[in-house]
Every structure is written in C-alpha cells, then in structure tokens.
Amino acid sequence: MASCQVKGDLMMTHEEHMADYYRRLESSHLGPLWDSLQTIMTKQPKPRAIPYLWDWKSVYDFVMESGQLVTPERGGERRVVFFRNPGLENLEPWGWGSLTHTLYAGIQLLLPGEKAPSHRHNQNAIRFIVQGSGAYTVVEGERVYMEEGDFLITPSGLWHDHVHEGDEPMLWLDCLDIPLVYELGVTFFENHPEFNQPVTLPDNYSTERFVGAGLRPIQDRNNRYAPQAIYKFKETRRALDRLSNLSPDPFDGYAVEYVNPTTGAAAGHTIGAMMQKLPPRFHTDAHRHVHGAIYHVFKGEGSSVINGVQFNWKQGDTFVIPNWAWHEHINTGHDDAYLFSTNDLPVMEALHLDKSEAYPEQHQAVVGTFKDDRITTS
C-alpha cells in the first residue's frame, strides 16, 4: 500500500507529501490525531455555552405576543418561547434550542380555556410554575393542578397534556434534556390517539401517596419513574424556612433539591433541580463545577458574578451558568431572594464526570458587567 501511495511521486518533498496525505485522509473520512488532540482534549473544560441573562420583561412580552399569533391546538403542540445560548445557537441542527450543552428551556403560555394535546417522548421534562393557576397537566392518567412556585416532573415516556380551566394566563418554565437526547441520536416522539388522554387516577394522586416521614407505598418499590408528579411551593418554602434556622451552605445558601422520594435521586432523572433562598445581603462563596445550570429568579433581586462578570437579576429573569464557570450570588434586595435552578449534575454523576472546586479566595474580582445583552468591562 505504502509504495502505491508514493508511486510516481518520488520527487515530493516532505511538506508536499504531508499536504497530499492530509487531502487523501480527509476525503477518506479519516483524521490525524497528532493534529487535533490538544483541540479536542483541552486541559480544562471549554464549553461553547456562554454566561447570559434574559430580562423577564422582554421574554414576557414575546411570550404574550405569541398568544395572539399561535395556538397550542393547531399545529405547534406547545406554545413556548425558548432560550438560545448565543454560544450554541449556531451549532446546527441541535444548537437551535440549547441553553446548556444538555438542556433546553423555554417559557410556555396556556391561555384560559386552552388545551395542549397529549404526547409522549423519551426526553425528561420538568416545569416550574412562574405565574397563574387553574390549569392542570395530565401525566399518565393523573390530573395535577399547578400553582405559582410549584415544581413538576414529566418523566421520559409518559403521556402528558395540559388543560387550562382558570381565567388568567398561565406561564411556566419548561426544561427538557432535548440536546442530550438529540446528541445521543435516540430521540422518540409520539402523539396520543386522542387529543387529551383519559384521566384514570384520582386528582393529585401521586402527591397524596407521599406523606414523607420516610414511608414508601409498597407499589413504588421498583418504580422506574420518580413517582411524585408535583412538588408544591408551600412545602418547598416550609423546608427552606426550617433550614434557615440552621447553618447555610457556603456556595448555595439555604437550598433544597427536588428528589425522588423513594430513592433520593434527582426527581427529573437526568435533570437536577433546586430552590435556594438567600436572605438580604447574603453573599455566597465562589465555586465552580462541571455541570451547567439554568437559573430562574422566582422572587427577589440581586446579582451573580460569573467568571468575573456581574449579572444583575430580578424576579422572572433567566440566566445561565455554563460548565466549569466560577460563580457566586448576592442578594442586594430587602427581601429573601428565591432562585430556582435546573442542572445536568445527574448526568455528570452517572458518567462519573462530576467535579467541583472552591475559588481560592472567597469572592471573585469583578471585571465587567452584563447590561443590555452585552458585557461592559470596568
């Protein structure tokens, strides 16, 4: 073979041979590792996702405008405006809706009287109710009523549809592992034969079964899914109030994770989620971890310093902390701040990639501020 490749080219210089070799290698869909190793195997994570923040006012206006333009009944399945990380949006085709490398997120709107059709897919979904009440989602035969601050899961493979019986717009944050499943090349999606699936279980059945106190209904012993469909804000706040009498976590303040009550694993399976409470003037220590995180400000105002850049936030804003980015949070308001967030820590843990470290000093030096969609250096 070797003699065949250089046959007739005995006069080629080394450089010419190299260039010719690279051309032939490329057209044979092969690659030289000695040229790419440092690019692919970087010393530290180099996520293409970047830190970014979306102001609630502009997202809300776009979402409400979509209410005049499209309906979930016809065509589109779900009326959602999703976030596109500027560092990922040009990565066709899956970069269209990635906020982190594994997670998609958007704001869904359901208007009074509307219904969104029943479907199932192998992506996991979680929802966090931002505004409104009176709508329910049906997950595998169970009707679950949603109110502000509630956290819900729609595990992979379960039928789900949404119905609004109330009289004010309902808005919630959806987070799904769409980019992860897409990149794994295993996406499945199916429509239910009926517009809405039949309700076969008592309302809020899964929550009624979980009284806490370390007790597990016997039929959930080998449940493939996290069995609790909804986590009410009333309970989340109660847990955080009780935690507030104890010492805070230096990096997250007073924080609880939404977990499967039968196993302690993330309720969202591949999607981790937590609610953290920061009292006024609370300033967390800076750290970084390999998992990416999406933050939604449920209440309060403050700022987060991400890789030295200050992002100021207030209620409704969404911001993203990419993999391995230094970050710390500060409550600059007069009331408790509640930060809801989702992350891909469960994926990192399952793959044994999880890793974190504290910033050498307590806080970062602020070298810039994010304002009007760009960073101004100071």
Residue 153 or 286: the one with the smaller Cβ distance to ligand GTQ is 153
In angstroms, the CA 321 to CA 341 distance is: 10
Give the N- to C-terminal CA distance of the chain in Å, as an integer: 61
CA distance 14 to 274: 58
User: 62-81: which residues touch ligand GTQ (CB under 6 A)?
Assistant: 78, 80
Minimum Å distance from CB 204 to ligand GTQ? 19
Pairing of strands 272-278, 293-299: unpaired
Report in angstroms how near the CB of residue 111 gets to ligand GTQ at its nearest: 15
Residue 247 token pair: 């010492």
What six digits make up the tokens of 281?
Answer: 């003037």
**Under the criterion CB under 6 A, does residue 176 sit at the interface with ligand GTQ?**
yes
Give buried/exposed letters for 43-68 (b at 16+ CB in 10 A, else e). eeeebebebbbbbbeebbeebeebee
Locus of tokens 């949404």:
162
Q: Among candidates 245, 207, 249, which has minimal Cα distance to 356?
A: 249
Tokens of 88: 């990922």
* The two three-digit tokens of residue 368, written as one number: 């810039």
105 vs 337, beta carbon nearer ligand GTQ? 105
174 contacts ligand GTQ (rule: CB under 6 A): yes
Q: Is 327 in the site for ligand GTQ (CB under 6 A)?
A: no
Among 98, 108, 156, 323, binds ligand GTQ (CB under 6 A): 108
Is 96 or 210 the residue whose CB approaches ligand GTQ more closely?
Answer: 96
Told to check if 98 binds ligand GTQ by CB under 6 A, we report no
Q: Does 118 sit near ligand GTQ (CB under 6 A)?
A: no
Nearest by Cα to 255 from 303, 295, 311, 227: 295
Strand order through the sheet with 170-176:
80-82, 104-110, 170-176, 125-131, 151-154, 230-231
Q: Which residue has the tokens 């010419």?
A: 16
Counting contacts by CB under 6 A, is residue 115 touching ligand GTQ? no
Q: Which of positions 257-316 make contact with ligand GTQ (CB under 6 A)?
A: none
Least Å distance, CB 316 to ligand GTQ, is: 17
Q: Select from 87, 106, 149, 179 the one that contacts ligand GTQ (CB under 6 A).
A: 106
Taking CB atoms, the residue at the shortest distance from ligand GTQ is 174
Q: How far is the CB of 173 from ligand GTQ (least distance, A)?
A: 9
CB of 119 or CB of 237, closer to ligand GTQ: 119
Cβ proximity of 236 and 260 under 8 Å: no
In the bound state with ligand GTQ, the residue whose beta carbon lies nearer, of 174 and 317, is: 174
The tokens of 35 are what? 């040229």
84 is a site residue for ligand GTQ (CB under 6 A): no
Nearer to ligand GTQ, 161 or 328 (CB): 161
Shortest CB 321 distance to ligand GTQ, Å: 21
- Kindly state whether residue 150 participates in binding ligand GTQ, applying the rule CB under 6 A: no
Shortest gap between Cβ of 187 and ligand GTQ (angstroms)?
A: 12
Count, residues near ligand GTQ per rule CB under 6 A = 8
Sheet of 374-377, strand order = 356-358, 287-289, 327-331, 301-306, 309-314, 368-371, 374-377
Rounded to whole angstroms, the Cα distance separating 14 from 114 reads 70
Two structure tokens written together for 212: 């806490």
CB of 176 to ligand GTQ, least distance (A): 5
Report the nearest approach of ligand GTQ to the CB of residue 129 (Å). Answer: 12
Binding site for ligand GTQ (CB under 6 A): 78, 80, 106, 108, 125, 160, 174, 176
